[in-house]
Structures are given as C-alpha cells and as structure tokens.
C-alpha cells in the first residue's frame, strides 16, 4: 500500500485520522496504525521489524546505563547484519560466483520494505544515546514509534531521535498545523501522480528498449530527462507527503529536498537532495573518518568512501556503486580545483553544468547492468541506432512537451520565481490580492489538485514508487 493509492487515500488514512483524533493515547494509536500499515504491505517481515524495535530499545537503554562502547558496537553490528543479509547477500553470492567461475551460492532473500531507512534510524539512535546527544527513550512505545512511524517508515526522511524526542513525549495539535500538513501532503501527492507518473512511462520505454533496437540520440536524451524528472518528483513527492502527514499528527519532520536541480554545483546539490541521508553520512561516517581535518588527500579519500557506500546503500548492485563513484569524483574535483573554475563561470553556465552532470550520473543508477549503462551512454552521444531504431515517437506520446515544461518549471522554481519577480507586476483587484482572496484561491487550487490526483489513480494510471526497492 503506497501513499498514492486509492486504499490509502480513501480508506486507511481517513479512518486512522478519525481514530487518532478521538484517541486519548495518541502514541499508541499511531504505533498500532504504523504496524498495520507495514503488515499490509509486508506481512512476511512484520515480525522482523518488531524484533528490530525490541532489540534496539533494549540496547539503547543499556547503552545509556552502562555507557559502553561494546554494546554500541553490538547494536550497530546487529543492525548492519540484518541489512546486509536481506539486501546484499545476493550481490555477495553473485560476485563470488563470478570470481570463482561458479553459479550463485543462493538466491537474494526478499528485501523487507524500508529496511535501509529504519536501520539507519535505529543506528543513529544508538550512536546519539552513546554520545549523549539524546537521552534514551523512556519506554518501548517511544522507541518503536520513532523507528516505525508510518509516514516515514518506508522511504524516509531519515529522522534523528533528538529531532523528535520532545515531540514523542508531548506535541501540539492544532487546526493550522493540520491544514499546513494537509496542504503539503496534497502538493506531494500531485508531484507524485501528476508529474512523476506521467514521465515514468517515457523513462521506462527508453531504458528498457531492447539492445537490438537501439535508441536514437533524441530518444536517449528525452528518456534521460524523463528519468531525471521522475526520480526527483517521485522521491520529493513522497517526502512531502511524509512530512505533511507528520504535521497532521503534530510532528515536525525534517525537510528532505530543497529544489536540488536549481543548485550550481554537485557540492550544493548534496545539500539540497535527500538532505537527511546526506546529514546521516556526514555525522556518522564522514566526520568519524576524519572529515576534512587531516589534509587534502584524506579528505578526498573520505569523500570517496562516503559516496561509494552511499551508492551501495541505494541498491545491491555494482551500478549503484558506480553512481556513488561518479558523485564522489565530482565532489573531489570541485573541492580540488573545479569549484574555483565554476565560480569564475557565468551563473547560467553553472546552472547548466549541474543538471547535466546529475542526469549523466542517473544512467548507471537506472540501468540494469554495466552493459546497459554503456549502451545508453553510446546512444546519447551518437552511436548508430541501426536499421530498426527506437525513435522519440516510440517512447514519448504526442504532447509530452507540456508535461516536460511543467516538470521543468516546478523543478527549477526558485530560478523561475527569481526571473518573474524582475518583471513588471500586473494590477489586480484588491479583493484578489487580499489575504482572504489569496487564501480562497489557494484552497480551490488544492481541491482541484486532489481531484485530479484521485481521478488519475482511479483510472488505473501507471503508479510505481522508485524508492520502495531501496
């Protein structure tokens, strides 16, 4: 069950909102709903999630009492062992089989939904308690709700315990906060269903084109642009829905995206893209490795290690490691010399550099293999498509330019807004520009957006969720 589904929007969420509103024990109600939500989509691994909640609660309390690094090491090891088994056992077996010329040792176990996200949250809890950055949870309900709260359980944002510690023990509920959360949820839903879903088919058709029917140059670039929009609006839309629902329940969850394609460098991009993951790797890996405190060579090494592991975190395939290496290479180059070159360029060129580098990096992220990535790069840069090519008309419907334009305006909105503010302002009737008039207009827009989203979902529109496989 995804957030952008009819059962969730019209059954699970409304029913739970009513029960939550009347419940005197809101944390227990939210925890029960979270476990039901997870069991609905992943019944085979609900016991593993509950075991993780119990083990991490016991360890967090024990670490707080004994202040023992041995217990911290045990907790981190147990969490990573679970993640490693479910996510990387197949990759290790496949790699070993390739080295030794044999078949895979065993098949990849089924990956539990959200394990990458809730494992990182559990590890951050144990580390923060040991560092005394946060107090240990007072009871099991707090631990379990922190790790498994359903708005952010499946695909983040990755929340630090100290960020919601006080909110778990007492938070405010108000009509204004609920309305703000509902507004953000609808905007995220629109990003997912109206933007990401409408370009997903183009991206899939381009990347899944058979090797014998190679893409033309135009089709390859349009497919790459489609995937760049899809992954952004898919994940940013989910994050906005998660943060919006958190507000509806009284929580302020951390923001996860800040118009990353409007950045001017890869360094800035990672301050805007999946910000909670970037902070997690910074605080729990990059800084403990030494950060930038021990000279340029070790700084570059640390950046590479972080982004190789960041790639591996995203998926159990060497193509993801290549994606991490791509970003690590540009981060190192920007720190070494490229950053100075970029600052000397006109701003428009920096804004062209960033989306181009990021888009080229998405190819190994999306491709199924190194060979597939190689073929896609070849198509981008003019490889002969052969006698029966996959042309633009084969992957994109007529009028796709309209949805691309809407995606571009939304993705680059800070730049668009900056340009618009420099234009002469039209004179509007006072009733329209007044607070009441603007409020009514915004509410009507939200209602229309929700109706459009519901209509698309009810019509059975293509509705994948990329980050569920991570």
Q: Is 31 helix (H, G, I), strand (E, B) or coil?
A: helix
Residue 200 has a CB neighbour count (10 Å cut-off) of: 22
* Angle of the 26-41 helix axis to the 46-66 helix axis, nearest 10: 140
Q: Is the dihedral of CA 89, 94, 99, 103 positive or negative?
A: positive
CA distance 253 to 156: 10
> What's the token pair of residue 99?
């080295």
The catalytic site residues sit at 314
Count, residues in the chain? 470
CA-angle at 118, arms to 311 and 85, nearest 5°: 65
Task: Write out the DSSP string of 125-180.
Answer: HHHHHHHTSSPPPSSHHHHHHHHH-HHHHTT-----HHHHHHHHH-----HHHHHH
Q: How far is residue 180 from each of residues 9, 159, 175, 401, 443, measured CA to CA in Å? A: 17, 20, 9, 32, 11
CA distance 34 to 17: 13
Categorise residue 173: left if φ over 0, alpha if ψ from -120 to 50, beta otherwise. beta
Give residues with Cβ within 8 angstroms of 436, minimum separation 6: none
What are the backbone angles phi and psi of residue 294, rounded to the nearest 5°? Answer: -125, 40
CA distance 180 to 27: 21
Q: Report residue 121 CA to chain centroid gap.
A: 14
CA distance 316 to 226: 24
């Amino acid at each position: 069950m995804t957030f952008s589904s009819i059962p969730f929007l019209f059954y699970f969420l409304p029913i739970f909102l009513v029960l939550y509103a009347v419940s005197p024990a809101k944390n227990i109600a939210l925890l029960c709903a979270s476990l039901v939500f997870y069991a609905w989509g992943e019944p085979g691994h609900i016991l593993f999630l509950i075991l993780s909640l119990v083990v991490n609660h016991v360890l967090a309390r024990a670490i707080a009492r004994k202040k023992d690094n041995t217990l911290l090491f045990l907790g981190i090891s147990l969490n990573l062992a679970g993640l490693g088994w479910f996510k990387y056992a197949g990759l290790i077996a496949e790699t070993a089989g390739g080295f030794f010329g044999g078949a895979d040792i065993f098949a990849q176990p089924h990956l539990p939904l959200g394990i990458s996200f809730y494992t990182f949250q559990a590890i951050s809890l144990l580390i923060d308690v040991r560092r005394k950055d946060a107090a240990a949870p007072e009871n099991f309900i707090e631990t379990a709700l922190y790790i498994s709260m359903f708005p952010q359980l499946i695909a983040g944002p990755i929340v630090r315990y100290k960020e919601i510690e006080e909110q778990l023990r007492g938070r405010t509920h108000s009509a204004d906060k609920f309305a703000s959360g509902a507004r953000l949820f609808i905007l995220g839903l629109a990003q997912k269903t109206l933007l990401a879903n409408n370009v997903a088919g183009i991206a899939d058709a381009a990347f899944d084109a058979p090797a014998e029917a190679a893409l033309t140059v135009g089709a390859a670039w349009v497919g790459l642009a489609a995937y760049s929009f899809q992954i952004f609006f898919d994940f940013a839309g989910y994050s906005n829905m998660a943060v919006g629902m958190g507000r509806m329940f009284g929580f302020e969850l951390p923001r996860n995206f800040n118009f990353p394609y409007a950045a001017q460098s890869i360094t800035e991009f990672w301050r805007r893209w999946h910000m909670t993951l970037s902070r997690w790797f910074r605080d729990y890996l990059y800084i403990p490795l030494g950060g930038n405190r021990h000279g340029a060579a070790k700084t570059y090494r640390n950046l590479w290690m972080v982004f190789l592991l960041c790639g591996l975190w995203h998926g159990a395939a060497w193509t993801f490691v290549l994606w991490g290496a791509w970003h690590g290479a540009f981060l190192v180059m920007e720190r070494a010399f490229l950053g100075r070159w970029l600052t000397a360029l006109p701003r428009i060129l920096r804004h062209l550099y960033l989306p181009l580098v990021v888009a080229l990096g998405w190819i190994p992220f999306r491709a199924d293999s190194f060979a597939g990535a190689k073929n896609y790069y070849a198509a981008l840069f003019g490889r002969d498509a052969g006698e029966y090519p996959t042309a633009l008309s084969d992957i994109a419907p007529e009028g796709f330019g309209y949805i691309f334009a809407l995606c571009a305006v939304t993705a680059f909105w800070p730049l668009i807004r900056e340009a618009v503010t420099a234009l002469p302002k039209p004179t509007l009737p006072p009733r329209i520009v007044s607070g009441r008039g603007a409020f009514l207009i915004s509410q009507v827009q939200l209602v229309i957006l929700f109706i459009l989203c519901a209509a698309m979902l009810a019509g059975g529109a293509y509705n994948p969720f990329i980050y569920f496989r991570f």
